[in-house]
Amino acid sequence: MSGFTHFDAKGNAHMVDVGFKDETMRVATAKGSVLVAPETMRLIQDKGLKKGDVLAVAQLAGIMGAKKAPDLIPLCHPLALSSVSVELDCDPEKSAIGITATCKVNSRTGVEMEAMTAVAVAALTIYDMCKAVDRGMRLTDIRLTHKSGGKSGSYEAA
């Protein structure tokens, strides 16, 4: 049906059978941003929010999010991740917190969903920790920026 792999011939959703695929090292990187008010940025950088160190908590939340991707996304395969890194970078000039997550696994299927889930959960955590002082925050541009491994090869975002 239209080349989508998660639908069978009748159009029903199903989990793709990856049992016949070769295990290869697979890597995926995703990015996103949280746009905040300038005062919120200062509070984050000064660790001045009542809930604690926003960046440290968001980093851990992103790592946990990657590990929970198959619990959140119905047709996502559970994977034994070999590595998850989540980096957060404050850009006071843009009032933006950049989030980059990279996931690695030696498996029969990729880790794109885990990387994007890590970014999304880190961004949601920033929002949750800062919402008392800034309800106008925006979570933006969550996207896959790199993928390697597997039969389909590599992908690099423009």
- State whether residue 70 is helix, strand or coil: helix
Concerning whether 134 is annotated as a catalytic residue, the answer is: no
Two tokens at 130? 């800062």
pLDDT score at 5:
72
pTM of structure: 0.90
Question: Residue 116 is encoded by which pair of tokens?
Answer: 């994007």
Question: What is the rounded distance in angstroms from the CA atom of residue 89 to the CA atom of residue 52?
Answer: 17
Higher-pLDDT residue of 138, 24: 138
pLDDT at 146: 98
**Cα four-point dihedral sign 56, 67, 102, 99:** negative
| Cβ-contact 31, 118 below 8 angstroms | no
Mean pLDDT score across all residues of the chain: 92
- State mean pLDDT over 13-23: 70
Catalytic option among 8, 89, 128, 134: 128
The residue-averaged pLDDT of 139-152 equals: 95
H or E element at residue 124: helix 112-130
**Spatial distance between the Cα atoms of 57 and 97, rounded to a whole number of angstroms:** 14
